[in-house]
Structure 1
Amino acid sequence: MTYHSISTNISGAARCWLTQNLGADKEAASVSDVSEGASGWYWQFNRLQGYKYDGGRVPSNAWTAWITSISEGANWAAANDPCNMLLGIGWRLPTSSEWTNADAPPQNWTNATNAYNSVLKVHSAGVLVPGSGVLDGRGAYGRYWSSTQYVSSAYGYMLDLYNGSAVGYLDKATALPVRCLRDDIVKRAPTVSNVSIPTATMTATTAVGTATATIDGGSPISERGLCWNTTGNPDINSTKLALSQGTGVFSGTLTGLTEGPTYYVRAYAINGEGVSYSPAVSSFKICPTSFAIAHTAGVGGAPVSKSVTYHSISSGISGSAACWLTQNLGADQQPTAVNDATEASSGWYWQFNRLRGYQYLSSRNPATAWISSISESSDWTVANDPCTQLLGSGWRLPTRLEWQYADAPPQNWTSAASAFASELRLHSAGVLAGGNGVLDSRGGYGRYWSSTQYANTSYGYILDLYGGSAESYLDKATALPVRCIRK
């Protein structure tokens, strides 16, 4: 993104000011410019998370922690100042006094048009309303945060260009655009992003990590690269791969990897002010891309004898690095669509904490020993876990919390289609009804057991993709497909 700035005394002293909003691709073309490219991003008071609005709020889903109420006795902290964190080298939010000076003589902003005609080109970019985070008044409301709290802890001072021009105050949970200014150049260590390690880049011994050196901190980056270990919190004293210099995207291949350990990775960048690391540690495992299991009817809960080639990937989708199957246990293949109704994609079905699995072609197999009622105070035991008994090598059912993590941001599953589009390729394989064991809604119901019992001894927690995507619970006598995880 290319920003533009000018030198001006408009705030009462010589400062550099941006002439476009933070996150905006361009300066506004008019005071009522309604384009997303000119509006930039929006922030709630003293919150680091920014939001884009282009037909909908990003990030946004049922799990996103949009803050509907803020009441705290604090000005905007430097650690949360988006100007400081996204631009560095001394950029910051203006104070309420600086906005007051900008609005005062000789500028004499008496309306939004005057503010737009000034050297700052401030325009009406709208707001995201507190209760819902929905865009309001783009092209009509010109409101910009200052870094200063109002006397009430639930409000912050802002420049308000709507129906005049003045410094007013607004509910802190409102998200407003921001303008940035700078007093002096402040050098600091560079800024580098988290590391992305796509599953597609992994082999049995290597993985490719990609990161971005976003800000040089006012001093040239002399070295950047990746560092990793198997114990956590890696630094440049761990295994290190030096790659290049300067800002921008960089990638490197981690070598000498093996199946089993969890690898922890951070990017680093070095300039004259010091060394910086990724904000978060990325982790991954080397997982078998495919492995064959010869199932025998009656052994480990297998309902029929057949050989299956399973596929797995490394994913942090459950909250930490793990290997996940990308097909249901007992399935010959990954599903081809979210509503794939084939037996080959659906795999086998299990009642809660019961080892016996069931295949369903035109009828249930085995047809005998169906349990129509289960009530017991127990999570799924290791001895009955079909993943453990049929795959071995540490494979098991996911817990309730692991499904919660998978369904939450950044995956943002809001429907069965979202879950199918994920790296796990979950689909609607149907269920065997608890009362009679008959197949119900293959291609319609996407429900998967966790290993965790519900508070009521007759129910177990499930991932429920039917009618949305959320945690739910179901009668233990229902037979569901399962996915397997290994850490």
Structure 2
Amino acid sequence: MKKLNLLKIIIFLITIHFISCTNEFDYGKIINAVKTLEFSNVTQTTANVSGNIITDNGASITSRGICYGIDNNPTISGPKKLYDTAELGNFTCTIDNLEPSTTYYARAYATNSYGTAYGVSITFTTLKATVPIISSTTAANLVTATTAKTGGIITNSGASNVISRGVCYSSTSAVPTIANSKTNNGTGIGSFISLIDGLTPNTIYYIRAYATNGIGTAYGDVKSFSTTTATIPTGIITTTASAITLTSASSGGTISNDGGASITSRGICWSTTTTSPTIVNTKSINGSGVGAYTSALTSLTPGTTYYVRAYATNNVGTAYGNTIAFNTIAATIPNGITTNSVSSITQNSSICGGNINTDGGATITSRGVCYSNTNSNPNITNTKTIDGTGIGAFSSSLTSLSANKTYYVRAYATNGVGTAYGTTRTFVTSSATIPTGISTTSISSISQNTANSGGTITSDGGAAITSRGICWSNTNSNPTISNTKTTDGSSIGSFNSSMSGLLPGVTYYVRAYATNSLGTAYGPARTFSTLVPAIAVGQSYQGGIIAYIFQSGDSGYISGQIHGIITPSVNQSAGVTWGCSGNSIGTSTFFGTGQSNTTSIINSCLTSNTAARICYNLSFGGYTDWYLPSYFELEKLYINRSLIGGFNNVSYWSSSQYNSTNAYGISFTTGATISSTKTSSLYVRAIRKF
């Protein structure tokens, strides 16, 4: 055994000597050069790990510490905690920023010029995250009837960020929670201050700090306090009156303390009879709460002494400030009155008016202009207008003036003190003329022998109208009173007139007229035709000859009314093409489609001087709504050709297309339907509806 131990010693000395001779020592391979000792004080985010450096192998240690991670055998290439001194011996590092509920591996290390040596790995598991830890609730201080100051201290977040913190409070629950009233005072750990308001006076409240993280809510210890008893507000000062006018002034107040109960109303109260006005007198309401405010006194009486006090009301009662007094300015007659320029001058009227800057401190009860053609300084005993009340601009209408007269006019304003006037303006009315603004009323109630009309006269031209009415003629397109007339009064305005003894089926021209001493004026002429005794095919009517009267079932037929087709008394062409051969145009042969056929042809065929275009452009008998008849409309013309007259024994075009190269027509010799090429030359007869 002694020989064996001696052999081991010899081998160890030879090894040491060999290493030192070759200078190839690997410090990191020295067994037990570094030891990992233990872990301690493990929390959710921190842990202490200690180690021991046994030997530096003859080269100074440059750094030492603990390397750690979630994988076994961590190295310094990963997370590590560097100890602040690099020497042999024991040391302990606190590892932070760890994750809760996580298993970590850690081992001590030391580094010198040879390399890095590690201890064995040890393992530990961090604690689970918890609610925050609150060390205390701050006792309430600065307590008033409605407010208090408190707070708390949060010493640990529980390994989860504190997202809300504050104080919860209640007057009914001895252990308040965040389900009760609460403050919110930011996030994170540490000390915080909470200001509680809106409390009830003379009441016991229970408070405790709270902190909420992702795990839940933690609470501090419960404390209590009592609010003070509320009083009426105190420290009220009335503001000196300013901006004093005849009817208004400015004041206000300052309230320094609400007495422990919220101020619900504040303002000023004033009176002319008591030196200590209260809120039962006239008052203003200017918001709520403590602080300074401004109040406006309005609708005051000029030249009067007023007494004013600021007031403040809470639920205990009303308190008042000191009384101040001031006098409003005395009232005068209105001032700053100007007379407008005179405009719109006629023989018997004009427009004027004025502007009033101030009412003198008394309400203006009447304003307008006064005028005269004899008094160069007219007043309200002369003729006057009344154009409202109050200050500002107004317009006045002067009526019933005499033509070609000089008038004097000036604005006036009256208040309780008296009447004030503006400057005088002069104008001359226009000379009289024949009446103007005459219109002729539309003709109504037309029969074979009678009709109604009338007119409106807006101005007599400055001379009284002696006669008015209507005049009419069937030969003179601008009838005068030398023609037949009515006499319907002698003034301006509207009137009605009746015409009788008219001829049936005759066109008449009618004008309203008005006569004064300077002559007669007329309105515009209106035209109407008396009714014909009866309507029949072959009768002249509305620019042509009635060719057909609609029967039940016809397009355009209206029960109880007479409508039909009119055709000119002569042909519109003795030979013209239908046009646009080879162009297929959408048309119809049906009765009542001629007008739409014609429109389609005009829009699709631009060739000039075709059958449809001749009818479309026709102006005949005072009418322009003519068109080329459809096939069945043309058939009605053929059937009644002898009553209509003016037809030739030839073929006539319809507006109904047969195909792209042919169109329908009718032979007025035989009545046969024909389909002629669109280039053929046929007669044309237009129609229109009535």
TM-score by length of 1: 0.32
Greater RCO (Cα-Cα under 8 Å, separation 6 or more): 1
TM-score by length of 2: 0.24
> Which has the larger strand fraction?
2
Pick the structure with greater CA Rg.
2
